Amino acid sequence: MSKLFSPLALRGLTLRNRTVVAPMCQYSAVDGIANDWHFVHLGRFGLGGFGLVIAEATGVLPEGRISYGDLGLWKDEQIAPLARIVEFLHAQGAAAGIQLAHAGRKASTPVSWRGPEDLATAEQRRAAGYEHWQPVAPSAESHDPGNADYQVPTELDRAGIARVVEGFVAAARRAERAGFDTVEIHAAHGYLLNQFLSPLANHRTDAYGGNLENRMRLPLEVVEAVRAVWPQDKPLLVRLSVSDNAPGGWSVEDSVALARELKARGVDALDCSSGGFAQGSIVSAASYQVPFARAVRQGAGIPTMAVGLLGDIAAAEAVLENGDADLIALARGALDDPNWAVHAARVLDGDYALWPVQTQRVLGRDRILGIRG
């Protein structure tokens, strides 16, 4: 059996294989509520054989959404539509995860495919669920002063920080009620928890700013609070931008230090990405972020998930065989081929068992075409 299709146990959860669908924002919700688009979008990856499917960045507070079109878990009415998706994924043998997020100063941004003409009338705005609000952040500084899509946020006070922690806790409780197998706390890509971590965005002078220990304080408080309410037999994940990819920013060494603290607080695996700030720059290429997963795995002794243009099947298997990561996550690759996992199982192991019984005519087709002898 290939490494990619060997099971992986994290606490009481055993993933059927090590393929993951990474969170992908769909900007298609109204009032944070999942709909048929989300059901079909996520459900097809269960049919496609993935081991773990993680729902998109989901706002723990209404002001924590990247856009008015994001999913949310700040109220009970948002639970049932997500539970329907979880039930379907489980029926296909996939585990279900959800990414809990707060966008911070990158909140209340437009949905890219809707222009002013699409929101010109009250009826259009109501149908789209359009809202606009004042973002919050560690410091009152825009993500990108040259981009009108980003506002100058309000600096969070202690009460605001407490509200953020409480928001993550309440959303985790709702995720449990929806039946999710794991939650992933979003501390990457220039969003709120990443803003607190990074010296590029955090210019506070209180206990939440300044040195590394202080900048890590809020993410660690969130993790501690979520771990306290998340079932002990269910794994907790965190997504990190391992590097800001910018001079003077958060570094790989900082991430290793943070990873050790996260592991000590009950985090079971780290989803290793990078970037997210306007000052950052990195050249994208196949497997370009694997070194981040390797550095954190080796430096902190914690399982990691590799991300970033990993659609080449042989290369994905090599990442695991080389000990660079424990899981392989696809986003754009999964959009391009929702059946990537079953195709990879055919290539690596000649195995068709992941195909749902309703679709196993594929085996007969492949025999006719000589794809499988």
71 - beta bridge partners?
58
Check residue 363 and give its pLDDT: 84
Q: What share of the chain is helix, strand, coil (3-state, %, to 5)?
A: 40, 15, 45
Contact 358, 12 (CB under 8 A): no
pLDDT digit string, tens, across residues 130-178:
999 999 999 999 999 999 999 999 999 999 999 999 999 999 999 999 9
The answer to whether residue 3 sits within a structural domain is no
> Residue 60: which of 27, 20, 32, 80 has the closest Cα?
32
Is pLDDT above 50 for 94? yes
Check residue 16 and give its pLDDT: 98
Can you tell me which residue has the tokens 């991430």? 255
pLDDT digit string, tens, across residues 187-242:
999 999 999 999 999 999 999 999 999 999 999 999 999 999 999 999 999 999 99
The answer to whether residue 328 sits within a structural domain is yes
The answer to whether residue 158 sits within a structural domain is yes
Check residue 48 and give its pLDDT: 98
Check residue 370 and give its pLDDT: 85
3 state DSSP class of 245: coil
Q: Which contiguous run of DSSP H or E holds residue 229? A: helix 217-229
- Report residue 306's pLDDT band, with 50, 70 and 90 as the boundaries: very high
Please provide the DSSP assignment of 97-120 as one string. Answer: EEEEE--GGG-SPPPTT--GGGGS
The answer to whether residue 28 sits within a structural domain is yes
Check residue 53 and give its pLDDT: 99
Which CATH number belongs to the domain containing residue 244 in this structure?
3.20.20.70
Q: What is the number of domains present in the chain?
A: 1
Check residue 156 and give its pLDDT: 98
The answer to whether residue 277 sits within a structural domain is yes
Contact 354, 341 (CB under 8 A): yes
Cα dihedral 350, 353, 355, 358 sign: positive
Is pLDDT above 50 for 373? no
Q: What mean pLDDT value characterizes the chain?
A: 97
Cα distance between residue 108 and residue 258, in whole Å? 29
The answer to whether residue 215 sits within a structural domain is yes
The answer to whether residue 344 sits within a structural domain is no
The answer to whether residue 151 sits within a structural domain is yes
Contact 20, 54 (CB under 8 A): yes
Cα dihedral 103, 109, 111, 112 sign: negative
Burial 222-253 (b: 16+ CB within 10 A, else e): bbeebbeebeeebbbbbbbbbbbbbeebbbbe
> Residue 208: which of 64, 63, 101, 104 has the closest Cα?
104
97 or 373, greater pLDDT: 97
Cα dihedral 74, 77, 83, 84 sign: negative
Is pLDDT above 80 for 75? yes
Cα distance between residue 151 and residue 67, in whole Å? 13
Residues identified as active-site: 191
Check residue 371 and give its pLDDT: 81
Percent of the chain's residues with pLDDT above 70: 99
pLDDT digit string, tens, across residues 353-367:
999 999 888 888 888
- Compute CA distances 23 → 124, 309, 319, whole Å: 28, 14, 20
Check residue 25 and give its pLDDT: 98
Length reported for the chain: 373
Please give the residue range of the domain that contains residue 225. 8-333
